[in-house]
Structures are given as structure tokens and as C-alpha cells.
Amino acid sequence: MSLYPLKFTPLYKYRIWGGEKLKTVLHKNYQEDHIGESWEISDVKGDQTVVGEGILEGKTLKSLIEEYKEDVVGKTVYNAFGTDFPLLIKFIDAKTPLSIQVHPSNEIAKERHNSFGKNEMWYVMEAEKDAELIVGFNQQVDKASYIQALKSGNILNVLNNDIVSKGDTYYIPTGRIHAIGAGVMLAEIQQTSDITYRIYDYERVDAATGKTRELHTEQAVDVIDYSVSDSYKTKYTKPDNDTNTLVNSPYFKTNIVNVKGEMTKDYSALDSFVIYICVEGELDLLWNDVSYKIVKGETVFLPAAIDAVTLKSSNADVLEVYY
């Protein structure tokens, strides 16, 4: 079988709010300024990542699924999505705040854009002192009071701000208002979708265009979840050499695995691909008598046909993602 643990070549995205940490902290290889996103594994049309090494070098994920079908993604995923890959994996570096935004549900995204919706999660990898995320509301609002806050310039007053630190995790279902604040670098796991409704952008001008960015006020009003929660942050524990749940959604599952020493992961009963995202430290992945080194800021795709791998590290944290 030609399949093996795959590293894809990232795609780097200019963003008005992008910084330098993807280069200086995660050692990504690019020369441009204001790179805010590294798309690690993508099947977005026009932005497909390709295999970076080995006999499959240069192939897109879609072409691999066309050739190897369920051996790449698993029977359940192949039956549900065909040759479309359901997830998009990114690293994000916010030097200045992202716009305040919301994503539509699967149903609305299909109807309006012929796209998947965008349920997503964040895992904070680095956070400067007092860096914040905006997630949800801090008080009960309805459509009318939300529109009033937006028109009067008081929208920030009704949004929930959390000061964050390394390891903080948030699940962002469709409809939940959110924004990444200045000084945060994180890993993002999301459905394959690039549909974002921007509701507030600090009236800033994009140097690349000389214009303010488009807002999607009317589209957003109908998709926002106006409910309020006591806490939006995910609670979890992280014992050594164990698999600990972060997100268990219909769209993806994400666990965190702390590797100290050596551990074997058996996927023979799992009908899915597995993606490893190294968020701290470095480790060796052993499969079929070959060792693959994974360092902080690297992502590895395990085709569904791989039944087991061994992980070795003195101390590493890995996000484990599957369908």
C-alpha cells in the first residue's frame, strides 16, 4: 500500500491582523509580512494543500481520496462526503484583533452559499499577558437589542471577553459570536468552509486595499445565537500518556494527548482518518519500521488504513482529531 503518515505543505494567508509568530515561533517558511494563517490541511476549492514528501509528494487530499477512497478517510466519511474532505486545519497568529464574526449553520450555508457550515474549535498555543478572546455574549440580548448595540457603537459592551493562557480551549458552534484578540496564537479545527459573516471590524482600513473591509450585518442577524452562557471555555484534564476529550461534536472529535515516554495508539476499531497537531514539544511517530519526527507547529495526517502507531517523546502535547 502506498499510503503512509502524510505531512502536507502549508498555505500561508495574508491577513490585516497577521503577525510574525507563525515564522518566529512555529518556524514556518515564508517571506511575506502580516501572515495570519497557516492552512495545514485544506480541501477548500482553490486552496488545496499538497503532500510535502514521499512517493505521494505533490498530490492533493482530494486526489488521494479519489484513488484510495475509504483507505484515506474511512468508510463513514467517504459515504457521507465522497471526495470532499470535511475538515480544515489551521494555525492562526493575531497581532491585532480579528473582526468580530459569526458563522452560519450547515443548513443556511448550504442554502446561501452551497457550502458546509463552520463549526470550529480553538486551542490556545501562545498568549501574551492579558490577551483575550471574545466568545458569546456577557448578558441576555435579543435581535432588537443586538441591532441597537451595533448601531450605537456599543457592541463590545455586550460581548463576553475571556483573558486566556496556553492550553485554553473553546468550541465555537455556528451562530456563536467570536473573535481572536491581539497577542493570541492558536490551532483551529473547523469544518471545510470559508464562510464568515463579519459584524464589526473596528473601522480599520486594510493597507493592502486602502479600504475598510466588508461587513455582513444583515446576513449575520438571522444566524446569531442570542443565548448567554455562564462559561464558554472547555474544562478538561491532561494526565500523562492518556487520551483526554476536548471536543466531541457531530462534525469532528478532538482529544489532547500528553506523551511522556512511549505509548501506542490503536486505531483498528476507528473508522476514520486521524490528524495529529503538535502544539507543544516534539515527538517521534513510529509506523511500519519508519520514524517520523513531529515538532511544535507541525501537522500529520494518518490515513484510515493505518491501524496503529507508536508515539515517543520526553514531553509533548498533541491534538488528536478524527471524524
Q: Which residues are catalytic?
A: 198
* Same domain, residue pair 187 and 249: no
Q: Tell me how far apart the alpha carbons of residues 177 and 103 are, in angstroms, rounded to a whole number.
A: 8
Whether residue 227 lies inside any domain: the answer is no
- The verdict on 44 and 159 lying in the same domain is yes
Distance CA 197, CA 252 (A): 22
Shared domain for 188 and 128, answered yes or no, is yes
Look at the chain and report how many structural domains it folds into.
2
Same domain? For 195 and 62 the reply is yes
The half-sphere exposure of 253 on its side-chain side, counting CA atoms within 13 A, is: 13
The rounded distance, in Å, linking the Cα atoms of 172 and 103 is 9
Are 114 and 186 members of one domain?
Answer: yes
120 is in an annotated binding site: yes
The verdict on residue 237 lying in a domain is no
* 231 in any annotated domain: no
Structural domain range at position 247: 243-322
List the CATH number of the domain containing 75: 2.60.120.10
Q: Which pLDDT does position 1 carry in this prediction?
A: 60
Looking at the structure, do residues 145 and 44 belong to the same domain, yes or no?
yes
103 is in an annotated binding site: yes
27 is in an annotated binding site: no
Report the pLDDT value the prediction gives residue 206, as an integer from 0 to 100: 86
In a domain, 226, yes or no: no
Q: Are residues 128 and 41 in the same domain?
A: yes
Per-residue pLDDT tens digits of the chain, which is 323 residues long: 689 999 999 999 999 999 999 999 999 999 999 999 999 999 999 999 999 999 999 999 999 999 999 999 999 999 999 999 999 999 999 999 999 999 998 889 889 988 888 999 999 999 999 999 999 999 999 999 999 999 998 999 999 999 999 999 999 999 999 999 999 999 999 999 888 999 999 988 888 889 999 999 899 999 999 999 999 999 999 998 999 999 999 999 999 999 999 999 999 999 999 999 999 999 999 999 999 999 999 999 999 999 999 999 999 999 999 99
**Does residue 207 come out as left (phi exceeding 0), alpha (psi in the -120 to 50 range) or beta?**
alpha
Same domain, 81 and 162: yes
